[in-house]
Amino acid sequence: MTIRLTLFCLAFAPMIAAAESANLYSLQTTDPKETRTVAATLAPDGKFVVGESNLPVTDLVSLRIPKVPLPALPAEAHIVLANGDRIAGELLGGDGLTIRLGALFDAAGKTVELPLPLSAVAAIWFVAPPQDSPLDAVKYPWIDTSKKQDTLKLRNGDILRGTLERFSPASGPIRFKPAGEAAAKPFDLNTIAAIAFDPSLSRVKTPAGQHYRIVTKSGSRLTLASASFDGTTFTGATSTGAKFTMPQSDLVALDSVGGKVAMLADRKPKSQKIEPYGSVSWPLAPNRSVREAAMRLTTVHGDETFDRGLGMHSKTTVTYDLAGTYRTFRSTVGLDSQSGRKGAVDVRILLDGKEQIIAGLKGLTADNAVEIRLDIAGAKELTLIVDFGPGGDVQDDVNWADAKLVQ
């Protein structure tokens, strides 16, 4: 995977360099018709400058490096936070309450020190996790969520459950007390594949109001309470309060969340109906594919990995209450480029019960996802339907990536 990421960066180096030299982004705002490539800066006081003019930061929907695919999630050593954020990097130390991460935000090996409260961490991987690992740490098959305990996954394959009594890597081995034993034992980090922390103690509070999610070149995903950038340096504060700076050139994408932008995965459907083709039922999957994996789509930019959206399988009908308060529904929809290669579906979108005609949705395949920007002004209900295709429900794994409602 490291080789693949390196090749990815080399292949796109001229394209990325050209975009960075002019500090250019593909910009989307709350204006339903606007997408443009511009130079932009965001000051700490919220002053958002686009080209030669100011734009209210509340009108920002997203920024992307033009024509560059969203990279895969971190595959090597990384940390998984309780809110699903993933940060590539290596553990530098800790004091029992906080860990210090050498966060990797690009593919060049340079790291940024990032402090994180231990209470926000769901798991730490010291090696590459198995490819079939669930996205949620609480669903790892090697932990027992019925008990309030920490879990060590050793590199020799052994699994130990109990209590992590000391976590200060800089001062020597960690100390772990296995369940049923009288005393804690030392474990060197080089013997550990992963640590999963007691899920009942791991939590991250979502920032109030408008906040941001970013994707970096290393595949790291972070939720930020605040962000600013000046053309050279990007500064952020995580949802846990940790502040950091990184080269702005490491940023691939920034999305605004809250305020005028509501992610569909964060909303409870008004109704949903699942009609299995056979005996297997596929429930709606927020922020993942229906197979509990990252959402991957083949778009005009290449193979992209999305971490926000809805996973659906045929046949599923789901309806959301809009209350007439939104202007636009935006998403990129397609069959998953990994698990949906042989699928074919009919996708339909209804507003207040009336079907909307959008090219490419009927007979949808995994070859090319469809970008949707639908005017929903005044609409009361939005209904999304993934219907059976000619192959029944075989590999009909559909991702509504970055599905959002914009005021």
Residues 284 and 365 in one domain: yes
Residues 243 and 356 in one domain: no
Q: pTM for the full model?
A: 0.89
Determine, yes or no, domain membership for 341: yes
pLDDT digits (tens, 9 = 90+) for 109-123: 889 999 999 899 999
Residues 396 and 375 in one domain: yes
Residues 250 and 272 in one domain: no
Give dist(CA 363, CA 77) in Å, integer.
39
pLDDT of residue 195: 96
Give dist(CA 146, CA 11) in Å, integer.
46
Determine, yes or no, domain membership for 299: yes
Percent of the chain with pLDDT over 70: 94
pLDDT over 80 at 216, yes or no = yes
Give dist(CA 332, CA 248) in Å, integer.
26
Residues 179 and 282 in one domain: no
pLDDT over 80 at 345, yes or no = yes
pLDDT of residue 131: 87
Residues 40 and 156 in one domain: no
Give dist(CA 4, CA 89) in Å, integer.
17
Cβ-count burial of 340 within 10 angstroms (0-12 exposed, 13-18 middle, 19+ buried)?
A: buried
pLDDT over 80 at 136, yes or no = yes
What CATH number does the domain containing 305 carry? 2.60.120.1060
Residues 98 and 59 in one domain: no
Query: Rounded to the nearest 5°, which phi and psi values hold at 265?
Result: -65, -20
pLDDT of residue 171: 65
Q: Under DSSP, is residue 248 helix (H, G, I), strand (E, B) or coil?
A: helix
Residues 220 and 321 in one domain: no
Residues 253 and 273 in one domain: no
Residues 290 and 253 in one domain: no
Determine, yes or no, domain membership for 97: yes
Query: Rounded to the nearest 5°, which phi and psi values hold at 367?
Result: -70, -35
pLDDT digits (tens, 9 = 90+) for 243-274: 999 999 999 999 999 999 999 999 999 999 99
Residues 399 and 269 in one domain: yes
Q: How confident is the model at residue 328 (pLDDT cuts 50, 70, 90)?
A: very high
Determine, yes or no, domain membership for 24: yes
pLDDT digits (tens, 9 = 90+) for 42-61: 999 889 999 878 999 999 99
For range 155-168, the mean pLDDT? 91
Place of tokens 């050593």: 77
How many independent structural domains does the chain possess?
3
- Domain ranges, residue 245: 2-67+215-258
Residues 134 and 191 in one domain: yes
For range 353-365, the mean pLDDT? 95
